[in-house]
Amino acid sequence: MLEDLFSVVKTRFNGEQTNEEKKKKTDIPKGLLFKCPRCSNVTFSEDFQKNGKVCPNCNYHSRLTARERLDITIDKGSLEEFDADMISKNPIDFPNYEEKQKALRKKTGLKDAVITGKATIRGEQIVIIVMDSNFMMASMGSVVGEKITRAIEYATENKLPVIAFTASGGARMQEGIVSLMQMAKTSGAVARHNEAGLLYITVMTDPTTGGVTASFASLADIIIAEPKVLIGFAGRRVIEGTIKQKLPDDFQSAEFMVEAGFVDMIVERKKMRRTLAHLLKLHRQGGGLNE
């Protein structure tokens, strides 16, 4: 405020503003505005929050924390969380990995990048898996792999459907090959859940990429995506580096993946809970042919 006033005074006295002063004038308190990463449209954060963190211009569904996601998805108070205290070790002795983890645990209140548990959606019992991109871009290391595997195994033993909200930058580099093996571990658990004839739904949220796309996220019976989110295997930068040209904006978007045949449907955030409840109900009785 004061600065603005000063600059008015300065302009009066000095005429034209210098570039530096112009720059200063556009300083805006952090967090006041939201700039959409898809369409670059700028809106007030407050409006964006009220809109369920959905860009009012292009309908991009931005990232939610795992807790926010659970709040709008499952029945209130229904979560029985699994393995809430599991934390990672440092399997390849990566420099500063423990310190980084510790700092992030403090900052995010999360122990690692996924929350798993048993819950209900409109009374339908499920096992739910929600990844949180605020923790190391929800990369899949030992904890993410183990918690997801245990959750799916629990669902298989107890004949429950699994709903996984995926978001991930891919494998966790800091855990090296151990991270890669989590792809096999989680996919193995999906294979057994699948053989038991149980329902598995993934909801791909922003961003679902790399080793998560190339394992359990792509193996569901039904794959849902939120509008405009990023879904792919290889990173955009890597592909651009390979083909030596810029990729179109909608490349690897949810819409692109529907067209390519790898996503069943795009569902808006405000309709997600309802859609999941309907799909759960539809699968509850098993196929009529069984009877």
Residues engaged in binding other proteins (CB under 8 A):
83, 85-95, 102, 105-106, 111, 141-143, 145-146, 149, 171, 173, 175-185, 187-188, 190-192, 194-195, 210-211, 213-219, 232-235, 238-239, 242-243, 247, 251-252, 260-262
Of 208, 263, 197, the residue nearest 234 (C-alpha): 208
- Min dist CB 129 to other proteins, Å, is 16
Nearer to other proteins, 120 or 215 (CB): 215
Quote the crossing angle between the two packed helices 66-73 and 269-284, to the nearest 10°.
60
DSSP state of 173: G
- Min dist CB 211 to other proteins, Å, is 6
- Min dist CB 204 to other proteins, Å, is 10
Q: Which two tokens stand for residue 118?
A: 């048993």
Nearer to other proteins, 236 or 283 (CB): 236
- Min dist CB 143 to other proteins, Å, is 5
Helix, strand or coil, per DSSP, at residue 266 = strand
- Min dist CB 242 to other proteins, Å, is 5
Nearer to other proteins, 39 or 262 (CB): 262
Q: Which stretch of DSSP H or E encloses residue 203?
A: strand 200-208
Q: Is 180 exposed, middle or buried (0-12, 13-18, 19+ CB in 10 A)?
A: middle
Measured CA to CA, the distance from residue 234 to residue 252 in angstroms comes to: 10
Nearer to other proteins, 73 or 166 (CB): 166
